[in-house]
Structure 1
Amino acid sequence: MSLADRRRSRSPGPAPLLLTGMTVLTVLTALATTAACTAPSTAGRGADAGPRGRAAAARPAAAGALEGVWRMDGYGTLVAIKGRSLRTYEATAVSCLPGGVTGTRAGAPDAHGRSRFTVPQGLEGQEGAPFDAAPLTVSPSGPGRAGLAIADNVGRRTLHRIGALPARCAERPSRDPRAVFDVFWRTYAENYPFFRAKKIDWTAVRERYRPRITAKTTDDELFAVLRAMIEPLHDAHTHIAAGRGRHYAGKRPGTVLPTPESAARTDRAIAANLGPGVTQRHWAQGKLSYADLPGRIGYFRITQFADYTEKGDYAGDVAALDRALDSVFTRARTQGPAALRGLVTDLRLNGGGADPLGLRIASRLTGRPYLAYAKRARNHPSAPEKFTRPQPIRIHPYRGPVYTGPVTVLTGPLTISAGETFTQSVMGRAPAPTRIGQPTQGVFSDVLDRTLPNGWTFGLPNEEFLTADGRTFDGPGIPPAIRTPVFSDKELDARRDSALTRARALLNGRAPKAVRP
């Protein structure tokens, strides 16, 4: 997630159709209330007031330790903290615009000086009061340094204190089409990590398109140019929303987006291949489902890692997921003579969401800790090869029942974003899962959502998720070990599901296991 659009996927509609960066873009509106910070009175409390008195006296100093302006490593973001208020700014070498996040400190800092900021959000057009979708925590970590963590995001972002906001942050941005172009081009130039891998000369892109933009360029003309600049990236984490029906979202060539009709056909094909008399149980507004299959094989389908409740807040998503996992991974299914002999996890239609939810599922599938992946962000405006220090993200076994037997993972081109980071997170599990189907979409980064001077919004990736040996799967996606068709018209017409059939045969010992690529 980015700081501006905290959830990777927040589109309304059926779960199978909610595809990160591909469907209708939903704008999250960040609201905040601010109030003056009033220090608690310490009158009558001296050095001998006792531990409680000393802790209370220390609170204003702890809060003040975070006061000021901070530059974030990577992400092109400045964070300003004043009193109880937090605000972000989107910065490049040519611009500084108000960011999409404002927060309010929730209570006093803890004993370590950590402050929690609520960030009320609500979907555009949604009735009712905004809610705290996922709080931010800012922690001092040394002289002039702090860390920022987002509840529904993995890893921690490093902050460095700077003297003040740049002067341009207080200036009214120009809406001239040339200024809009410059901010758009510069944001990609300073943050996008994959130009070399995609064989795109971004400087040449500017030289080609910048002369076409003048003060009289219309909105339609400007949108067409911006779209033409990023369309060759074929990146499902790139998008532009320019109002009045002007929307663009990238995708890998050959990706066919589902329709309500094709999604219904897919559901029928899956049900037919689960077999007669098999009942699927559903949770999280239908985004999680499970069925016990003959031969003590489990089938667990995950179509999204977000919006598990009507409210859509992260805490609610965690609670809903945990309830589902408690129902699936019972002692009876994980221990003893009736335990599962194999588990099929189906992510072939998964539009992404919050990466930590995937880690919670992975923790139910292991009896030992292991590395899920390491995460890093591009961290130099003119050197695409320079990144932040990789942060290792580890899986720790759940404290209750866990399943440690054979697993197959079904994937395809509509396994997107958090669906892919989950797939990557279980690759280090023992025994290693067997991936069946087609390569995933190839987009792992959180989306860095940005606003242009004319009010348009756009997004791009800026991170890499590394394997233990330093590889990434951005672009081509995670390959399967066993290739099969995935919801092709021919398969759907025949209500056939080759990937599921192959997974069940493998887990039942009737198919050879392919060598992992």
Structure 2
Amino acid sequence: MLFRKPAVVAGGVLLALSGGALLPAAAAAGELPGGRAESGPRPGAGTSTGKGLDGVWRTDGYGSLVSVEGDVLRRYQTTSVSCVEGETARRTARGPGWAAYTMADGRRLTVRTGGGANSGTGTGARLSTDGSPGHQDMARVRGGLPAACTGDAPDDPVATFDVFWRTFHENYPFFAAKDVDWQAVRDRHRPTVDDGTTDDELFAVFREMLAPLHDAHVSVTDGADRFFAETRPGTTAPSAELDAKVKRHIEEHDLDGGGLTEYANGRVSYADLPGDRGYLRVSGFIGYSDGEHPDGRYAAERAALDRALDSVLTADRTARLRGLVVDLRVNGGGADGLGLRLASRLTDRTHFAYAKAARNDPDDPGHFTRAQPQYVVPAPGVPRYAGPVAVLTGGSTVSAGESFTQALLDRPGRTVRIGAPTQGVFSDVLDRALPNGWRLGVPNEEFRTRDGRTFDGPGIPPDLSEPVFTDEEFEHGRDSAFDRALDVLPGGGD
């Protein structure tokens, strides 16, 4: 995905969580493949104003400028008070009116001329990222980069505070839903910051400002030992430790000591159940492949998922299955496109998934880009299962795990959600640099239902509520949500 999930710190090394996968600090900093930063002339002066791709573009929403010059694409993170050079990518493919650029971490961006409000004028383009459904409309900026993008900027605590506050003020859409007056937050904390403010003091200020949002997609880190992100109260963030504990619990108590067959680096696993039913566990929508692919990192992930689903959803199995449990209760998210790819194996008819829209007015949190509807299209040429499905969710169902759940709301086959509400974070995450080198994670999108509703904050509710991996469930060897799924699905002796 173009915008990384919140950064985390492991072993003292900054790792950027891009769609759920950990990346080394060099990749997060925007270096090109080969471990070196791209050199060459600064973009802006002398950029083409013709109808090609070269030039400077402003995205509709996302607070970004995109500079394309020859083989190099650079992104600039902008607010009304700042412009910071961000990620860099090198051109790896091109054709008439389009070019693909690959970043240091293997993510692939595609720029196409035309589209948006400026379609047909030579001043419009679209930017898309493998794995992130939809695109960003862009308009050409005449005259090259603004001066703020090419000069030095102050990096003192006051300047850092101002960019921090302004970045959220201009991009975050959920202040009203979170009952947070962001202007009042600034008025309370801005007087406490001056040139003598220490890093510890400044980080404590930022932490206090962000904590009331209770948004798992919001984060701040110094790239070393300071990191803050917080889940919704009463929920637990997915982790490797929780995933392993839950897997043992499922194998012992739900599968009567039987094992799960694992695929895609263990992120996808399956077991047949009595009564011609199946159990499919998905712990994330990224991290499926450690290999490379000529078309980029997402293509490798997609191919690994396809291999897993080809092994699970065989022609014989899909023909005899009477019900399928899809367990997302510990799912750390990843690439929304992979969620749509799984959903395409669970339907025989095209149906609405969700519509994406990004906040695009710096002064109006309620103003968004035109919503881009996304659909689940039956996967061609492979066996598909279109029968009854029970989807298990909980507070540790996060991000792409939630967008996948949302993509099944209009599924034509019988679908029931069991467990507890999901975490309530759907947006891709803007990965932003502060003047002092710290980084922010800022969500800026809504994922809407057909009638315009969103689930940001409270999460997607279940149809049938059951406890999910509580201390009591672990202590007494129970899995109430799984048991309820077996009661609901056909095949249990009916």
TM-score by length of 2: 0.89
**What runs of 5+ residues in structure 2 fail to find an aligned partner?**
42-47, 115-119
Q: What's 1:239 paired with?
A: 219
The answer to whether 1:90 aligns with 2:77 is yes
Matched AA of 1:105: R
Separation in 2, partners of 1:184, 1:192: 12
Q: How many residues align?
A: 466
Matched AA of 2:31: L
SS in 2 for 1:155: strand
Among 71, 82, 87, which residue is 2:58 paired with? Answer: 71
Separation in 2, partners of 1:350, 1:98: 33
Alpha carbons 1:436, 1:482 under 8 Å: kept = yes
The answer to whether 1:424 aligns with 2:406 is yes
Deviation at 1:264, TM superposition (A): 3.8
Among 348, 358, 364, which residue is 2:339 paired with? Answer: 358
The answer to whether 1:332 aligns with 2:316 is yes
SS in 2 for 1:365: coil
Q: What's 1:308 paired with?
A: 288
Q: What's 2:262 paired with?
A: 282
Deviation at 1:342, TM superposition (A): 0.3
Deviation at 1:423, TM superposition (A): 0.4
Deviation at 1:68, TM superposition (A): 0.6
Deviation at 1:22, TM superposition (A): 11
Q: What's 1:474 paired with?
A: 456
Alpha carbons 2:419, 2:468 under 8 Å: kept = yes
**What runs of 5+ residues in structure 1 fail to find an aligned partner?**
38-60, 122-132, 513-517
Matched AA of 1:238: V
Among 82, 97, 100, which residue is 1:116 paired with? Answer: 100
| Cα-to-partner distance string for 1:251-271 (whole Å, 9 max, x where unaligned) | 111123467665443222211
Alpha carbons 1:290, 1:298 under 8 Å: kept = yes
SS in 2 for 1:87: strand
Within a 5 Å distance, the mapping from 1:266-281 to structure 2 comes to: 266-276=246-256, 278-281=258-261
The answer to whether 1:387 aligns with 2:368 is yes
Alpha carbons 2:387, 2:414 under 8 Å: kept = no
Matched AA of 2:289: T
Question: RMSD of the alignment, in Å?
Answer: 2.7
SS in 2 for 1:444: coil
Matched AA of 1:363: S
Deviation at 1:30, TM superposition (A): 2.6
Q: What's 1:152 paired with?
A: 131
Alpha carbons 1:8, 1:352 under 8 Å: kept = no
Alpha carbons 2:17, 2:23 under 8 Å: kept = no
- Tell me: CA distance 1:279–1:256, structure 2 relative to 1, closer, same or farther (3 Å): closer
- Quick check: which has more Rg, 1 or 2? 1
- Tell me: CA distance 1:481–1:20, structure 2 relative to 1, closer, same or farther (3 Å): farther
Separation in 1, partners of 2:140, 2:407: 33
SS in 1 for 2:67: strand
Deviation at 1:23, TM superposition (A): 12
Alpha carbons 2:275, 2:492 under 8 Å: kept = no
Alpha carbons 1:180, 1:454 under 8 Å: kept = yes
Alpha carbons 2:31, 2:38 under 8 Å: kept = no
Within a 5 Å distance, the mapping from 1:155-174 to structure 2 comes to: 155-163=134-142, 164-174=144-154
Single out whichever of 63-72 and 229-238 deviates more from structure 2.
Answer: 63-72
- Tell me: CA distance 1:262–1:363, structure 2 relative to 1, closer, same or farther (3 Å): closer
Among 328, 334, 341, which residue is 1:347 paired with? Answer: 328
Matched AA of 2:132: N
The answer to whether 1:30 aligns with 2:30 is yes
Separation in 1, partners of 2:239, 2:367: 40
The answer to whether 1:294 aligns with 2:274 is yes
The answer to whether 1:396 aligns with 2:383 is no
The answer to whether 1:319 aligns with 2:303 is yes
The answer to whether 1:217 aligns with 2:217 is no
| Cα-to-partner distance string for 1:310-349 (whole Å, 9 max, x where unaligned) | 24822211111000011111111122xxx10000000000
- Tell me: CA distance 1:368–1:261, structure 2 relative to 1, closer, same or farther (3 Å): closer
| Cα-to-partner distance string for 1:11-65 (whole Å, 9 max, x where unaligned) | 889xxxx99999999743432275999xxxxxxxxxxxxxxxxxxxxxxx99961
Within a 5 Å distance, the mapping from 1:192-231 to structure 2 comes to: 192-231=172-211
Separation in 2, partners of 1:251, 1:196: 18
Separation in 1, partners of 2:22, 2:128: 28
Among 138, 151, 154, which residue is 2:111 paired with? Answer: 138
Single out whichever of 403-412 and 169-178 deviates more from structure 2.
Answer: 169-178
Matched AA of 2:178: K
Alpha carbons 1:20, 1:237 under 8 Å: kept = no
- Tell me: CA distance 1:244–1:120, structure 2 relative to 1, closer, same or farther (3 Å): closer
- Tell me: CA distance 1:435–1:30, structure 2 relative to 1, closer, same or farther (3 Å): same
Q: What's 2:355 paired with?
A: 374
Separation in 2, partners of 1:467, 1:272: 37
SS in 2 for 1:393: strand
Q: What's 2:473 paired with?
A: 491
